[in-house]
Structure 1
Amino acid sequence: MKALVLAGGKGTRLRPLTHTSAKQLVPVANKPVLFYGLEAIREAGITSVGVIVGDTAHEIREAVGDGSAFGLDITYIEQEAPLGLAHCVLIAREFLADDPFVMYLGDNFLIDGITGLVDAFDAADCDARILLTRVAEPQFYGVAELGPDGEIVALEEKPVNPRSDLAIVGVYTFSPAIHEAVRAIGPSARGELEITDAIKWLIDAGHRVQSHLVTGYWKDTGRLEDMLECNRIVLEAIEHDCRGTVDGLSEITGRVVIGPGAVVENSVIRGPAVIGADTKIDRSYIGPYTSIGDGCTVEEAEVEYSIVLGESAIRGVGGLSRSLIGRNVEVTKAAGVPNACQLMVGDHSKVQVRA
């Protein structure tokens, strides 16, 4: 079996961060979301992986390389524009050949991996097995309707009146029959080749399409609140590990990971939290569920329940919470009077200021 990982897309819901960074490389507990997916694929026994890339191809290639760091053999496949998930299968035809494969959306986050899905597909006589999860608001998702034996009998995209609470997660296993399906369908109203239309074609053509329910935690990491929640879930499972330097005036409580070369002086860190390599925490408070990237500086500041990417500086700012700070960002206390907020904010940003 092979894998097809989708790492294109524009990440509009995480702008402005994704104007300059691939959404799949935004870190959870200081590790890019995409890496969790690649590791899950390897744990499922798959080593031949095609990665669909778009505008951020250079960044993805630089981060993932040839795949050897993950025990994988990576083939990159360029998509000239975001023309749909089924289009990704279409352009990957040569790579996939006639092998069964798992298709994995690179911004998905699954705690328990995909081994169960892959094993169930291998053992079953079906042409597709689709990962589903129960959601509270199915009207915002692609929704599957199941038959008595767990087979998928109908799919509907963001239905006004959902027939079930089973949402399509974004991880699929397919037999080579899917290639005929993606060639048979046309673009949707938004001009894309939809994988849901291809799956419907399989169902209508008499192919068996089975369901597989997520047993653990799943998130689509397309929004700030989703990223922070994934960060919280991963940090819950970390073990204390200090490879940096902590002075005698500092207080470290709970499970905290401090990377090599990091320095903590006269500060309080309450875990679970991760402090990246070569980061300096000085006269500051780092609260639970916080990830500080490599090479950062936090001075006379308070940060909790947040993600701070590498090479950023936070100085003299208190009460920073539920925030996602990008790379090479500087957050400082305004000097002088009046006591005002001074902001330079890019397009599609969101800022909340206490009045």
Structure 2
Amino acid sequence: MKALLLAGGTGSRLRPITHTSAKQLVPVANKPVLFYGIESLAAAGITDIGVIVGDTADEIRAAIGDGSSFGVTVTYIPQERPLGLAHAVLVARDFLAQEDFVMYLGDNFIVGGIGELVDKFRAERPDADILLTRVSDPGAFGVAELDATGRVVRLEEKPPVPASDLALVGVYLFTPAIHEAVRAIEPSGRGELEITDAIQEMITRGLTVRSTVITGYWKDTGNVADMLEVNRTVLDTIESCLQGEVDESSEIVGRVRLGHGARVRRSRIVGPAVIGAGTSVTDSYVGPSTSVANDCVIEGSEIEFSIVLADSAIMGVGRIEASLIGKNVQVTGARSTPQAHRLVLGDHSEVRITP
């Protein structure tokens, strides 16, 4: 069995972070989201992985390499433009050949992995098996309608009137029957070849499309709020590991992971939290559900429920919370209370200013 791991896409909901970085490489607990997907596939016994790449191909290649560090073999498959999930299957046709495969969206996060799902598919081998979860806003997803046996009878992408609250999670299992279906469909109104249309084509042709409803934790990390929530969830599982230096004036409370060469002076860190290698925390407070990457500086500040990427500095700014701060960012305090705000913002930024 092979895997098709999708690592293209523009990451528009995570801008401006994704103007300069692939969305799948934004870290959760200081590890890129994409790595969790690769590890999940490897744990399920799938080691031959095709990675769909787009404009950020060079960055994805640099991060994953040949896959050997994960115990897998990686083949990179370029997709000229993000023209839909079914289009990704089309461009990966030579790699997939006539084998069954898992299609896994690289910005999805599933606690507990997919081992049981893969074992069930291998044992029963329907033409397709899709992963579903119950959501409060099904109109924002692909939605499935099931019969009494769990067989999928209808799929619809982002329906105005959803037939159920069962949304498609970004993991799909297919036999080679999917290839004929993706060739048969037409682009949707948004100009993409939708995987929901391809699966519906399989249903229309009388093929067996099964479903598995998961009750565990799943998130699409495509926006800041969900990214922070996934970071919180992963941090809840960490164990304490203090490899850096903590002076006598500092306090470490709860489960905190402190990387090599990190330094904590006259500060308080309350876990669960991760402080990366080479990072300096001075006269500051780092609160729960916070990940600070390597080689950062936090000085005279407070931060909680946030993600800070590498080589950034936060100095003298009071309290920060529920924030995603990119790489090489400087956040500093103003010398006096300003009468006007001075801003340098990237495209599609969102700023909230207290009157």
TM-score normalised according to structure 1 size:
0.98
The whole-number CA distance in structure 2 between the counterparts of 1:179 and 1:161 is 29
Per-residue CA deviation, residues 142-168 of structure 1 (Å, 9 max, x unaligned), is: 100001111100001122221111000
What does residue 107 of structure 2 align with? 107
Is 1:133 paired with 2:126?
A: no
- Further displaced range: 333-342 or 76-85: 333-342
Equivalent residue runs for 1:238-253 within 5 Å: 238-253=238-253
Letter in 2 for 1:14: L
Is 1:172 paired with 2:172?
A: yes
Letter in 1 for 2:127: D
Whether the 8 Å CA contact 2:259–2:276 is kept in 1: the answer is yes
**1:346 Cα shift?**
1.2
What does residue 159 of structure 1 align with? 159
Per-residue CA deviation, residues 257-300 of structure 1 (Å, 9 max, x unaligned), is: 00011000000101110000000001100011000000100010
**1:190 Cα shift?**
1.2
- Superposition RMSD on alpha carbons, in Å? 1.0
Contiguous gaps of at least 5 residues in structure 2: none
Question: The residue matched to 2:318 in structure 1 has which SS?
Answer: coil
TM-score normalised according to structure 2 size:
0.98
The whole-number CA distance in structure 2 between the counterparts of 1:307 and 1:143 is 31
Whether the 8 Å CA contact 1:238–1:272 is kept in 2: the answer is yes
What does residue 306 of structure 1 align with? 306
Whether the 8 Å CA contact 2:156–2:197 is kept in 1: the answer is no
Per-residue CA deviation, residues 83-116 of structure 1 (Å, 9 max, x unaligned), is: 1110100010110010000000000011111111
Question: The residue matched to 1:154 in structure 2 has which SS?
Answer: strand
- The 3 A distance-change label for structure 1 pair 338 and 153 is closer
Is 1:66 paired with 2:66?
A: yes
What does residue 33 of structure 1 align with? 33
What does residue 120 of structure 2 align with? 120
Question: The residue matched to 2:119 in structure 1 has which SS?
Answer: helix
Equivalent residue runs for 1:179-194 within 5 Å: 179-194=179-194
The whole-number CA distance in structure 2 between the counterparts of 1:140 and 1:260 is 42
Question: The residue matched to 1:300 in structure 2 has which SS?
Answer: strand
- Find runs of 4+ consecutive structure 1 residues off by over 4 angstroms: none
The whole-number CA distance in structure 2 between the counterparts of 1:288 and 1:344 is 29
**1:171 Cα shift?**
0.4
- Further displaced range: 36-45 or 122-131: 122-131
The whole-number CA distance in structure 1 between the counterparts of 2:338 and 2:251 is 35
- Further displaced range: 304-313 or 207-216: 207-216
Whether the 8 Å CA contact 2:256–2:271 is kept in 1: the answer is yes
**1:354 Cα shift?**
2.6
Letter in 2 for 1:174: F
The whole-number CA distance in structure 2 between the counterparts of 1:102 and 1:284 is 45
Letter in 2 for 1:329: V
Equivalent residue runs for 1:39-50 within 5 Å: 39-50=39-50
- The 3 A distance-change label for structure 1 pair 152 and 262 is same
Whether the 8 Å CA contact 1:33–1:106 is kept in 2: the answer is yes
**1:335 Cα shift?**
2.1
The whole-number CA distance in structure 1 between the counterparts of 2:353 and 2:112 is 37
Contiguous gaps of at least 5 residues in structure 1: none
